[in-house]
């Protein structure tokens, strides 16, 4: 399945003070082991044992601005639930096609 999910912070309620490393820790705590790799203005979060990866755009101080799940994925209900729970916990909104 080809899927692109876009996630955005809601800055009025939750200013972007969290880092991608902290978001990774939340994924790990929720049962989704992952690691992050930075390349220029993007940080890629790679989930262990999955094709699914997140790509975050980040500002100069390293705080994430957007997140996209852009590729062919092995997206299942359990993975999706954890993904949405973590984004909800940091005040981010799901906005398909908004990028």
For residue 82, the number of C-alpha atoms closer than 13 Å in the C-beta half-sphere is: 17
pLDDT tens digit sequence for 1-52? 334 567 666 655 545 678 899 999 999 999 999 999 988 889 999 999 888 8
Rounded to two decimals, what is the model's pTM?
0.80
pLDDT, residue 4, reads 52
pLDDT tens digit sequence for 14-28? 456 788 999 999 999
The structural architecture, per CATH, of the domain 5-91 is: 2-Layer Sandwich (3.30)
pLDDT tens digit sequence for 59-71? 888 888 888 887 6
Domain boundaries of the chain, sorted by first residue:
5-91
Residue ranges with strand state E in 1-99 = 5-9, 34-39, 42-47, 53-58, 64-69, 92-94
Q: Residue 11 belongs to what H/E stretch?
A: none
């Amino acid at each position: 399945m080809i899927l692109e999910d876009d996630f955005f912070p809601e800055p009025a309620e939750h200013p972007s003070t969290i880092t991608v490393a902290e978001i990774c820790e939340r994924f790990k705590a929720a049962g989704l082991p992952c690691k992050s790799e930075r390349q220029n203005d993007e940080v890629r979060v790679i989930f262990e044992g999955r094709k699914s990866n997140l790509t975050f755009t980040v500002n100069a101080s390293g705080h994430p601005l957007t997140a996209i799940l852009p590729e062919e994925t092995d997206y299942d209900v359990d993975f999706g639930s954890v993904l949405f729970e973590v984004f909800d916990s940091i005040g981010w909104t799901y906005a398909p096609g908004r990028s």
